[in-house]
Amino acid sequence: MGILEVKNVNKRFGGLQALGDVNLSVQDQTVHAIIGPNGAGKSTLLNVLVGKLVPDTGSVMFDGQSVLGRKPFEINQMGISRVFQTPEIFGDLSVIENMMIPIFARRDGAFRLHAIEHTENEKEIIEQAEHMLESLNMADARHDHSAAMSRGNKRRLEIGMCLAQNPRLLLLDEPTAGMARADTNATIDLLKQIKEERDITIAIIEHDMHVVFSLAERITVLAQGTPLVEDTPDNIKGHPKVREAYLGESA
Amino acid sequence: MLGLNKKDTTLLIIVAIMALFAPFILNPFPEGSSMAQMFNAGYPDLMQRFVIFGILVIGFNILFGLTGYLSFGHAAFLGIGSYSAVWMFKLIGMNVIPAILLSMVVSGVFALLIGYVSLRRSGIYFSILTLAFAQMCYNLAYSVLGNPASSYNLTNGETGLQLSLNDPRILGGAVSSEGSLPVTNFFGIAMRDSVQLEIGSWLFTFNAGYYLCAFIMLISFYVSIRIFRSPFGLMLRAVKSNQQRMNYTGLNTKPYTLAAFVISGIYAGLAGGLLSSMDPLAGAERMHWTASGEIVIMAILGGVGTLIGPIVGAGFNEYFKNILSKINDSVLHQWLSFMPDGLEDAIVGVLHFFVGKGWHLSLGVLFMVVIIFLPGGLVEGGQRISRLFRRKKTDDDADKASHSTPAE
């Protein structure tokens, strides 16, 4: 029994079967990659996992509890954090403020009206945020305007913001899309480091095979909304069905 | 001091000093001169409007400046506050404190209801919903609940809600000692009482009502600084910055935005209550959608999301509205009398459309100029000027220290 169990999930957009009988089991504390050609249903699947889309049929269980019908913030509270394809950070705020928000959210739950308390007095929160920035090697940038950072650093900050909540499952949607080679490698190293340091499960949707084969322990190949195969990276590399799915699409 | 850092304390003290000495600052010209007629603003009615609209826009800025939710119906809360206060004067007594408290409570309740529904949508749809609610309130006040013949006459329709000699006023003082309508007071100090001070040919007026409003404005300003600097304020700014990320950060944003909406509605109700306390009369036109638009304009004029911007914007708007509507053709002729007659008539003919009853036109042009050249409002203008001076100073310092820091 995996930490994330997807069973017989179907999702239809009009005449398009975006997901057809998807079964997926992500084992606790592994790095599981979901790959597939364009239009394979990867993003739809991810949106089902985080509560943005509700599937037509099927079930999605996280740690024994159903995520279906819950709002994104409730799913996040269950322990699933999401990293977006384009880094979603609070661009108007400074780096340290960006980092403080998920820590506040974790401490206060859904709502606490501390309108008269001064943020400067939240020593514990600031300390945790600075500690997190240090582990990301971003301590020097703490007062920088976050919108002005490079894409690689925004991604680094976004991953850090997710980790600050101590999630059990980290979902990444093409984390290196549109990145320079150096930034891509830095992101891979960061994810490897996270894997070593934390008891965390990582599910990653990715196009870049370099990233997939550097990180993944299990790989699921999606094609036309259905899982084709699920196996270890070594077995996937030479799998004829995978080649067909990819080459067939590009040919 | 008071839980603020040094910079915010300085700002609060500056605003306090400005408010305290406003009767001097706003009366720079000697009494009786033609300049005083036009440009002096140190009379009670206008000074009261400065601080009351300051409170209104400070509250509006807590919603719009922090969360980015543009409410187009804030005048509804202003009107609701006004009516509540007048009812308090009619039923309870002429002390302003119960009136102000009731106007805050009632507008807070309305804000909770309207906010709960409107905040289900964001962006333009939110604005339209608030506009719709405000127009509903306006129409209720103007006709449905204002029919003098019906038994539900809450607002007295287009005449407006007024005091009358037959009002119960259960705390006494239904009729003043002279047999006329009693006046609003703060524990015996009448709101319209003024002390005048003559220095040379200058005349300064210190009005009790103004100082009460100014004091309440300072408290409101202080509370707004606290909210801006609090974790709650940080969450609101995060909602404005990226609602998407906020939703995936385990935080339900709805209670935060609703709280901001209610706080801002209470501010507007307080402003309405104060308007009625200064002049116990409430009309439906205060709730009209153009009044809501004016609040938005004042906020943008001053600088959205800044602390001092709302006060600057409200003051600027009220001051120019007042001056421009006072200028008429004969004043223009007087000013331009040095020109040849034909040219003078031509220029006056053009300017005619921008002054007097045409003050909207000039204020519109001023608003456009500010938006185009200073998108951050008048506060941004101030910042640019101070940065200009500071840069010169740091350049000098850098030369002296013979090393320079890289430019940002």
CB spacing of B244 vs A122 below 8 angstroms: no
Give the residue, A111 or B191, on which the prediction is more confident: B191
- Residues of B with CB below 8 A from A120's CB? 5, 229
Give the residue, B349 or B392, on which the prediction is more confident: B349
Query: Which spans in chain A are helix H?
Result: 42-49, 72-78, 95-108, 123-135, 151-163, 181-197, 209-215, 233-237, 240-250
CA nearest to A25, candidates A41, A9, A44: A9
How far is residue B369 from each of residues B303, B364, B377, B378, measured CA to CA in Å? 14, 9, 10, 11
Residue appearing with tokens 């529904």: B117
Q: What is the reported pLDDT for B346?
A: 87
* pLDDT interval class at A251 (50, 70, 90): very low
Residue appearing with tokens 């200064």: B278
Instruction: Say what angle helices B309-326 and B378-401 make with each other, to 10 degrees.
Output: 120
Q: Give pLDDT tens digits for B184-215.
A: 889 988 888 898 888 888 888 899 999 999 99
CB spacing of B247 vs A72 below 8 angstroms: yes
Please report the ipTM that was assigned to this predicted complex. Answer: 0.89
pLDDT value at B404 more than 50: no
CB spacing of B250 vs A89 below 8 angstroms: no
Rounded to an integer, the average pLDDT of B276-291 is: 92
* pLDDT interval class at B147 (50, 70, 90): confident
Q: Give pLDDT tens digits for B31-90.
A: 877 777 778 888 889 999 999 999 999 999 999 999 999 999 999 999 999 999 999 999
Cβ atoms of A239 and A67 within 8 Å: the answer is no
CB spacing of B248 vs A92 below 8 angstroms: no
| H-run or E-run covering A16 | strand A16-26
CA nearest to A170, candidates A65, A29, A43, A37: A29
Q: What is the reported pLDDT for B72?
A: 94
Pairing of strands A31-35, A218-223: parallel
Rounded to an integer, the average pLDDT of A59-87 is: 90
Lowest-confidence region among A22-36, B176-190, B218-232: B176-190
3-state secondary structure of B198: strand
Measured distance CA(B359)–CA(B383) in Å, rounded: 28
Question: For the whole model, what pTM was predicted?
Answer: 0.90
* Token digits of residue B357: 């009853």
Query: Which spans in B143-285 are helix H?
Result: 208-229, 231-241, 243-247, 253-278
Q: Mention every residue, 6+ apart, whose C-beta is less than 8 A from residue B145.
A: B152, B153, B154, B155
Q: Mention every residue, 6+ apart, whose C-beta is less than 8 A from residue A235.
A: none
A60: left (phi over 0), alpha (psi -120 to 50) or beta: beta
Rounded to an integer, the average pLDDT of A161-177 is: 91
CB spacing of A82 vs B248 below 8 angstroms: yes
Which residues on chain B place their C-beta less than 8 Å from a C-beta of chain A?
Answer: 3-5, 223, 226-227, 229-235, 237-238, 240-242, 244-253, 255-256, 259, 263
Average pLDDT taken over every residue of chain B: 89
* Token digits of residue B340: 């040849």
Best interface-test mutation with B: which of A75, A90, A100, A143 has the largest number of B CBs within 10 A? A90
Measured distance CA(B241)–CA(B225) in Å, rounded: 19
Measured distance CA(B296)–CA(B307) in Å, rounded: 15
Q: What is the reported pLDDT for A250?
A: 47
pLDDT value at A168 more than 60: yes
Measured distance CA(A199)–CA(A202) in Å, rounded: 10
Smallest Cβ distance to A88: which of B223, B242, B259?
Answer: B242
CB pairs under 8 A between A and B: 110
Kindly report the backbone phi and psi dihedral angles of residue A82, in degrees, each rounded to the nearest multiple of 5, phi listed first: -120, 135
Residue appearing with tokens 């990653």: A204
CB spacing of B230 vs A120 below 8 angstroms: no
Q: Give pLDDT tens digits for B13-32.
A: 999 999 999 999 888 888 87
pLDDT value at B175 more than 70: yes
Minimum Cα–Cα distance from A162: chain B residue? B249
* Token digits of residue A28: 């606790």
- Residues of B with CB below 8 A from A88's CB? 242, 244-245, 248
CB spacing of B252 vs A115 below 8 angstroms: no
Cβ atoms of A27 and B225 within 8 Å: the answer is no
Give the residue, B34 or B227, on which the prediction is more confident: B227
- The alpha carbon dihedral of B267, B271, B274, B276 has a sign of negative
Cβ atoms of A90 and B67 within 8 Å: the answer is no
* pLDDT interval class at B405 (50, 70, 90): very low
Smallest Cβ distance to B238: which of A71, A93, A165?
Answer: A93
Q: Give pLDDT tens digits for A184-224.
A: 898 899 999 999 888 899 999 988 888 888 899 999 988 88
Q: What is the reported pLDDT for B58?
A: 96
How far is residue A177 from each of residues B159, B395, B407, measured CA to CA in Å? 65, 43, 32
- Residues of A with CB below 8 A from B240's CB? 92
Q: What is the reported pLDDT for B403?
A: 44
CB spacing of B244 vs A88 below 8 angstroms: yes
Minimum Cα–Cα distance from A104: chain B residue? B231
Measured distance CA(A86)–CA(A92) in Å, rounded: 16
Measured distance CA(B383)–CA(B389) in Å, rounded: 10
Minimum Cα–Cα distance from B244: chain A residue? A88
Q: What is the reported pLDDT for B406?
A: 41
Rounded to an integer, the average pLDDT of B159-177 is: 82
Average pLDDT taken over every residue of chain A: 88
Q: What is the reported pLDDT for B1?
A: 63
* pLDDT interval class at B408 (50, 70, 90): very low
* pLDDT interval class at B353 (50, 70, 90): confident
Q: What is the reported pLDDT for A164?
A: 92
